[in-house]
Amino acid sequence: MRRAKPHKLWLIVLALAIVPPLGLLMLWRSPRNRTAKIVISAICVLLIAGAVVGAVRTHDRWAAKNIPECGYDVTMNSRNRYRNPQVLPLEREIFSAVVREMRYRDFTTPMDAFNATGPNVAESQTRAFAIVAKRHDMDPEAVAAIYRKVSSRLTPGRK
């Protein structure tokens, strides 16, 4: 019975750099020093864990700073408070739901909804108001009033 040839060192290093799980498998199947295998495996695991933690932290920082494309800041700060204190939480929730419904129903991008005018927008808003009102067990006119109030306070340059 023939014994398999050990993988060349350069091939193991390349596999560790490109596909770490495959590289680790190749490393552990090679006839190398056990201590070296343990050290290299620990280094690979730490690098992968560091990459995952770094990606999560980067995303959290980006999400905290990023304002939605539609121009409305409906995010919370690090103390779990709304960035714009003039709007109550229920109003913000209803406003966000209406914007989501309008985007979902009729527009391909958030800026289409923000920049659009005309009868199609009024019809889309009316439909979104009705859907959100039904979901929150409210009158559609109350939802429309909340939407107008929040959009007037959150739109840049308007008071």
Give per-residue pLDDT as tens, 87-107.
677 788 888 888 888 877 655
Tell me how far apart the alpha carbons of residues 159 and 144 are, in angstroms, rounded to a whole number: 18
Structural domain boundaries enclosing 55: 9-65
93 and 128 share one domain: yes
109: nearest Cα among 99, 118, 123, 94: 99
Q: Is residue 146 part of a domain?
A: yes
Give Cα 85 to chain centroid, integer Å.
24
Q: Is residue 101 part of a domain?
A: yes
Tell me how far apart the alpha carbons of residues 6 and 30 are, in angstroms, rounded to a whole number: 5
22 against 113, higher pLDDT: 22
3-state secondary structure of 76: strand
- Calculate mean pLDDT across residues 55-81: 62
Q: Is residue 70 part of a domain?
A: no
Mean pLDDT of the chain: 75
Residue 115 has pLDDT above 80, yes or no: no
**Contact between 126 and 101 (Cβ < 8 Å):** no
- Give CA separation, 30 vs 4, 17, 27, 75, 157, in Å: 10, 17, 5, 52, 66
pTM for the predicted model, two decimal places: 0.39
Query: What's the one-letter identity of residue 66?
Result: N
**Contact between 129 and 143 (Cβ < 8 Å):** yes
Q: Which pLDDT value is given to residue 85?
A: 57
Burial of 96 (0-12, 13-18, 19+ CB in 10 A): middle
Angle between helices 119-136 and 140-154 (to 10 degrees): 110
Query: What's the one-letter identity of residue 50?
Result: G
130 and 93 share one domain: yes
Residue 140 has pLDDT above 70, yes or no: yes
11 against 4, higher pLDDT: 11
Helix (H) / strand (E) containing 49: helix 34-65
Q: Is residue 104 part of a domain?
A: yes
59 against 13, higher pLDDT: 13
Q: Is residue 141 part of a domain?
A: yes
